[in-house]
Amino acid sequence: MRALTTAATGMQAQQLNVEVISNNLANMNTTGFKRQRAEFQDLLYQNVQQMGAASSDAGTIVPTGVQVGLGVQTASIYRITEQGALSNTGNPFDLAVSGEGYFRVQMPDGSDGFTRAGNFAVSGDGELVTSEGYTVAPGIAIPNGARQIEINIQGQVQVQIDGQTDMQTVGQIELATFFNQAGLEAIGGNLFLETAASGSASLGTPGSPGFGDIQQGFVETSNVNSVSEITALIQAQRAYEMNARVITASDEMMAASSNLR
């Protein structure tokens, strides 16, 4: 019976759906995390009777035909990049992007990584780095003896040094945007890599057209909505159970047909 394999594809689809939901819920408190959504599409169809085929020598045709679907398959797992809420931390090195854009990070192999997680710190050399110690591009060094550090919405990093009254600009934070943010490759650690699907990074200054603002002393929280995720989890569980019930019913029907005398 086709129903056996068709329902099996439905169970596999809902299993993947639950895995995506569980990852979203697990990252409810992950800084800058963007939730994902599993998307599905139907499989091929078997044409038992082709629609439009001639049904008589008088020129009549079959209006709808007979097509039997063979189940479901995963189309994609789409990342939803809507803005997360901003949480005030009071840490001068914590930064949040309000709007479009990613922080650019220098990876250990020299390539560029991108992140929305602005929970930064300062290395022993005074460089602004991520929690993994990767340098925040284009490289911003905080001079020794800086008493006050201010980062404005345009990403200018200014410090006040002992013995001086005026603020000095020591660096400029850049943001990167992409035509297709969902095409970025997640590699863990709140980092993404550019791909052919995302398009090349466009670098710009925060606050300029198409780029978000920098908010000092804030971090962007996860955009996971626990209520909608739990609702989706319940729906996926029910769909899984219904597909399992179809397999049980199909098995019972096959048993009944095999016992016919």
Token readout for 60 is 């009549």
Q: What pLDDT score was predicted for residue 85?
A: 94
| Alpha-carbon span 36 to 23, nearest angstrom | 8
Label residue 67 by pLDDT band (50, 70, 90): confident
Q: Rounded to 5 degrees, what are φ and ψ at 79?
A: -95, 125
Instruction: Convert the pLDDT of each residue in 148-183 to its tens digit.
Output: 889 999 999 998 887 777 888 888 999 999 999 999
Which residues are paired to 78 by β-bridges? 37
| Separate counts of helices (H) and strands (E) for the chain | 2, 20
- Domain assignments of the chain as residue spans, ordered by start: 2-81+224-258, 86-220
Token readout for 112 is 């560029």
* Alpha carbon 237 to its chain's center: 22
DSSP state of 141: B
Instruction: Convert the pLDDT of each residue in 81-107 to its tens digit.
Output: 999 999 999 899 999 999 999 999 999
Token readout for 86 is 């901003």
CA distances, 110 to each of 25, 105, 135, 140, 176 (Å): 33, 10, 10, 16, 17
Instruction: Convert the pLDDT of each residue in 211-231 to its tens digit.
Output: 999 999 999 999 999 999 999
Q: Where are the alpha helices (DSSP H) in the chain?
A: 2-26, 226-258
| Alpha-carbon span 216 to 153, nearest angstrom | 8
Instruction: Convert the pLDDT of each residue in 99-142 to its tens digit.
Output: 999 999 999 998 999 999 999 999 888 899 998 999 998 888 88
